[in-house]
Amino acid sequence: MKIFSAEQLYEADKITLEQQQITTEELMERAGAQIFNWFHERLNGASVPIRIFCGIGNNGGDGLVLGRLLIEAGYNVIVYVVNCSDKRSKSFLYNYNLIKNVTTDWPILMTDKNDFPEIDPEDIIVDAIFGIGLNRSLDGWVKKLIQHLNASPAFKLAVDIPSGLFPNTALKDEDAVLRANHTLTFQTPKLAFFLPETAQFAPSFDILDIGLDRDFLVNTKPLAQIISKPEAQNLYKHRERFAHKGTYGHALIVAGSYGKIGAASISTAATFRIGAGMVTTFIPKCGYSILQNTVPEAMVATDIEEEFLSKINVDFEPSAIGVGMGIGKSDKTVEALKSLFKNYKSPMVIDADAINLISENKELLKLLPKNSILTPHLGELQRLVGKWKDDYDKIEKVKEFSIKHEVLVVIKGAYSITIFGDTLYLNSSGNPGMATAGSGDSLSGVITGLLSQGYDPLTSCVFGVYMHGFAGDLAVNQMGYEAVMANDIINNIGEAYMMLFAKDQSEGENN
Full set of structural domains in the chain with CATH: 2-222 (3.40.50.10260), 232-499 (3.40.1190.20)
**Does 57 belong to an annotated binding site?**
no
CA distance 443 to 461: 10
Taking 70 as the pLDDT cut, the residues of the chain under it are 504-511
**Does 377 belong to an annotated binding site?**
yes
**Does 468 belong to an annotated binding site?**
no
Structure pTM?
0.94
- Under 8 Å CB-to-CB from 340, ≥6 apart: which residues? 254, 312, 321, 323
**Does 131 belong to an annotated binding site?**
yes
**Does 503 belong to an annotated binding site?**
no
Q: Cβ(165)–Cβ(153) under 8 Å?
A: no
Residue 376 three-state SS? coil
- pLDDT digits over 410-428, tens only? 999 999 999 999 999 999 9
- Under 8 Å CB-to-CB from 375, ≥6 apart: which residues? 349, 350, 351, 355, 409, 410, 412, 440, 443, 444, 447
CA distance 3 to 12: 12
**Does 301 belong to an annotated binding site?**
no
**Does 433 belong to an annotated binding site?**
no
**Does 354 belong to an annotated binding site?**
no
**Does 58 belong to an annotated binding site?**
yes
CA distance 99 to 88: 16
CA distance 287 to 139: 60
- Give residue 309's pLDDT: 98
**Does 456 belong to an annotated binding site?**
no
CA distance 211 to 187: 8
Average pLDDT, the chain: 96
**Does 303 belong to an annotated binding site?**
no
**Does 472 belong to an annotated binding site?**
no
CA nearest to 141, candidates 204, 62, 83, 60: 83
**Does 257 belong to an annotated binding site?**
no
**Does 148 belong to an annotated binding site?**
no
- Give residue 505's pLDDT: 44
**Does 390 belong to an annotated binding site?**
no
- Under 8 Å CB-to-CB from 101, ≥6 apart: which residues? none
Give 510: exposed, middle or buried? Use CB within 10 Å, 0-12, 13-18, 19+.
buried
**Does 123 belong to an annotated binding site?**
no
Within 10 angstroms of residue 24's Cβ, the number of other Cβ atoms is: 17
- Give residue 504's pLDDT: 53
CA nearest to 428, candidates 274, 275, 231, 238: 231
Residue 132 three-state SS? coil
**Does 135 belong to an annotated binding site?**
yes
CA distances for 40 relative to 45, 71, 291, angstroms: 7, 12, 59
**Does 5 belong to an annotated binding site?**
no
**Does 440 belong to an annotated binding site?**
yes
- Backbone φ and ψ for 78, nearest 5 degrees, come out as -125, 125
Residue 253 three-state SS? strand
**Does 346 belong to an annotated binding site?**
no
**Kind plus residue range of the DSSP H or E element containing 476:** helix 457-479
**Does 414 belong to an annotated binding site?**
yes
- Residue 439 CA to chain centroid, in angstroms? 17
Q: In what order do the strands lie in the sheet with 124-128?
A: 108-110, 77-82, 50-54, 124-128, 155-159, 182-186, 205-208
